[in-house]
A and B are shown apart, each in its own frame.
Chain A
Amino acid sequence: MANYSTNEFKGGLKVMLDGDPCAIVENEFVKPGKGQAFNRVKLRNLMTGRVWERTFKSGESLESADVMDLDMEYLYTDGDMWHFMKTDGSFEQYAVEKKALGDSGKWLKEQVVYTVTLWNDNAISVSPPNFIELEVVETDPGLKGDTAQGGSKPATLSSGAVVRVPLFINQGEVLKIDTRSGEYVSRA
C-alpha cells in the first residue's frame, strides 16, 4: 500500500490513522520563525464521522486507505441489511449494515442514487443526494389562521423522516427536501 508524506497531504486524501480510514479535511503548515516545520491536520474518521486534529512532523507519512466513493442505487432492505447496486452497468450489489447506513437511513428511497463509501471493498458509509423527493405519508390538516408555529407543521415522509412543512401541504403530496439540513424546499 502506498504512503503519503505530509507534503502530499491535501483535502480529500484518504489515509489510515490508528487503524481507521480517514479523509483529510484540512492541512495547515506551521513553523516557528526559524525552526522545524509541523503540519496541523484535521482528519475525518470515515468510520465514525468524527473529526480529529493531529500534528505531524513535516516529512512524516501515513499509509493510504483503500477508500472509494461509488454511485449506487438503493434496492431494498431485508431488515438486517440494506442493499445497493452499482450504477456502472455491472449490476454488482453491496449489502450495507445499519451502522454504516447511519443518518442516511431516514432518506432512503428505491431507485435513488446514493454515494456509498467502500473501504477494502466493504461499505462503511452512505451519503444521500443533496436533494431528494419524498411523499408525505402522514400530516395534520393545517389549521386555518394558526400562525403561532411559524406557519409550519410536522410531516412524516415515506422514508420515515419527519420534517417541518408549510400548513398548506397535504398527505400524498411529493416534496423536495434538502437532506443536508433536513428542511423542506418546495413541492416537487
Chain B
Amino acid sequence: MTDWQPTASLDSLRRRAVLMQRVRGFFVERGLLEVETPCLGHGGSTDVHLASLSCRAVTPAGSETLWLQTSPEFHMKRLLAAGSGPIFQIARSFRDGEVGRRHNIEFSMLEWYRPGWSLDALVEETQALIREVLPFDPGPTRKRRYRELFGEVLDIDPFEVDIASLRRLAGERGGLDMAESPRDECLDLLMSLAIEPELGRDGIDVVLDYPASQAALARRHQDPHDGAWVASRFEVYVNGLELANGYDELTDVGEQRARFADDNRARREAGLVEVDVDERLLAALDAGMPEGSGVALGLDRLIQLALGKSRLEEVIAFPTPRC
C-alpha cells in the first residue's frame, strides 16, 4: 500500500505554509481580527445545491444531530452581530460529494467580513489579496456583468430568453436532455461549460449582477443600467477557476427566514434531506447585524494557482480519497 503518502510534494507544502502566512499578514495589517468558529453547528446551509454532512453527537442536551459547516458564514455573522468589527478566518469547510480536480470534500475556506463596506470596496480588497498571494501578475482586474457575459459568449439575454430556447441551447452545449430543467439549471450549465472556461484569461474577472433567483444570502437590488432585479453578489475568476464569492450581506431576518424556508421546500420537492435552520443565526439577525459585505475564497484553489498546479490534490497533503 503506497497511498499512505501525501499527494502534495513536501516542497509544495512548504510553499503553501509561506502563502498562508502571507494571507494572515495581509489581514492583520489591515486591522481585521482573526477568529476561529466551530466546524459543527446545530444548523447548516439549506442551499439546495450544497450537500451538508451531519453527525450524531452526545452533548449536554443529549444525543443530537450536528451539521458540518459548508462555510463559516453563520458563525461569523453571529460574531458580527455581537459587535466584533471586521473579522477573517481560515476555516475547514465540508461539502459532501464535491471531489475532483478543483474540489475536495473538506477544504480551507478563507472568509472575511467588512461591516459598513460596499460590495465595490470588497471587490477591490479581494483582488488585492489575490495579487498579494500570486507570484505572478495575473493581468488587469475586469468587472463583467452576468447579463453581458451571456450576450458576448452565447449571444443570448439570460434574463429575457424564453425557457424553450434556453433549454435547447443548454441541451446542445451539454449533450444532455434539459427539456424539464428549470431556468437556473440551464443557466448554471451554460455558465459551467461555456462561460467559465473563458473567464480569467490574462486577467482577474469579477462577475457581477447575477439573476435575482441566484442571490443565496446576498441582497437583491435593481440594476441601474436596465432596471432588472439582480443579486448583489460577485464571483472572482482567474484562469477559468472560480476563486471567490462575495455578498452584500442580507441582514433582514424576515427575508432570511423566508429564504431558508424556500430552500427547504425546494429540498423536499427534489427529494433531498432538509437541513436544520440555524435559529441562532436568525436570532442574531433579529438582534441586529451591521450592514456590510463579506466574501468567501477557496484558499486551496488560490494556492493551486499560485503554485502552478493543475489539480487541487497537489497542494493538499491528504485529499479525501486518501484521508
Q: Interface residues, chain A, CB within 8 Å of chain B?
A: 7, 27-38, 40, 53-58
Contact = CB atoms under 8 A, between A and B. Distances in A.
B235 A33 contact: yes
B97 interface: yes
Contact of A55 (B100, B181, B193, B216): B193
A35 B100 contact: no
Nearest to B236: A33
Given A7-B97, A28-B101, A30-B100, A36 B235 contact: no
Task: List the 8 shortest-distance A-B pairs measured between CB atoms, nearest first.
Answer: A35-B188, A29-B100, A55-B174, A36-B188, A32-B191, A33-B235, A36-B185, A30-B192
B198 interface: no
Interface of B is mostly: mixed
Interface string B156-193: 00000000000000000011100001001101110111
9 contacts: A7-B97, A28-B101, A29-B97, A29-B102, A32-B188, A32-B242, A33-B235, A36-B184, A53-B175
B98 A37 contact: yes
Nearest to A37: B49
Contacts, number: 69
A55 B188 contact: no
Interface in B85-99: 97-99
Nearest to B298: A33
A31 to B, nearest CB: 7
Nearest to B270: A59
Contacts of B192: 30-32, 35, 38
Contacts of A56: 176
